[in-house]
């Protein structure tokens, strides 16, 4: 798991056009805090620079599948979490895709 100051989950998706108050704040109820933590961790896993370990690649693949899924039978499915947190799942998916695409085009400093 990553530290909050490194990859802040949902907050990593903010842009100049999205202010913190547009996103769900840290929820007060324990179930909502858990849902937010699950979403934050998933975003962190997907946005974290690619690690070479097999376990890390497997975790990223499973997390990407979870983010792309439209399944709602499980209480902690991506869509159910977004609904519970009042976050638009299409927006989350779009921002994650945009940020991942942008990070692929950044060349490391020499």
| Cα–Cα distance, 104 to 73 (Å, whole number) | 34
Residue 29: per-residue pLDDT: 83
Tokens read off for 68: 């792309």
Residue 103, C-beta contacts closer than 8 angstroms, at least 6 positions apart: 47, 49
Residue 102: per-residue pLDDT: 81
Q: Which residue has the tokens 């979870």?
A: 66
| Cα–Cα distance, 68 to 90 (Å, whole number) | 10
Question: How close are the terminal C-alpha atoms of the chain, in Å?
Answer: 28
Residue 59: per-residue pLDDT: 93
Is-above-0.75 flag for pTM? no
pLDDT (tens digit per residue) in 63-88: 999 999 999 999 999 999 999 988 89
Distance (Å) of CA 62 to CA 17, 18, 24, 28, 59:
30, 28, 25, 28, 5
Give yes or no for residue 8 having a pLDDT over 70. no
18 phi and psi angles, rounded to 5 deg = -120, 120
């Amino acid at each position: 798991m990553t530290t909050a100051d490194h990859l802040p989950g949902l907050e990593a998706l903010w842009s100049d056009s999205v202010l913190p108050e547009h996103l769900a704040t840290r929820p007060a109820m324990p179930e909502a805090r858990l849902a937010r933590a699950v979403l934050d961790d998933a975003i962190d896993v997907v946005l974290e620079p690619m690690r070479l370990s097999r376990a890390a690649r497997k975790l990223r693949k499973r997390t990407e599948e979870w983010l792309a899924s439209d399944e709602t039978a499980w209480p902690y499915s991506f869509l159910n979490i977004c609904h519970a947190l009042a976050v638009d799942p299409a927006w989350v998916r779009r921002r994650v895709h945009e940020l991942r695409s942008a990070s692929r085009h950044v060349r490391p400093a020499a």
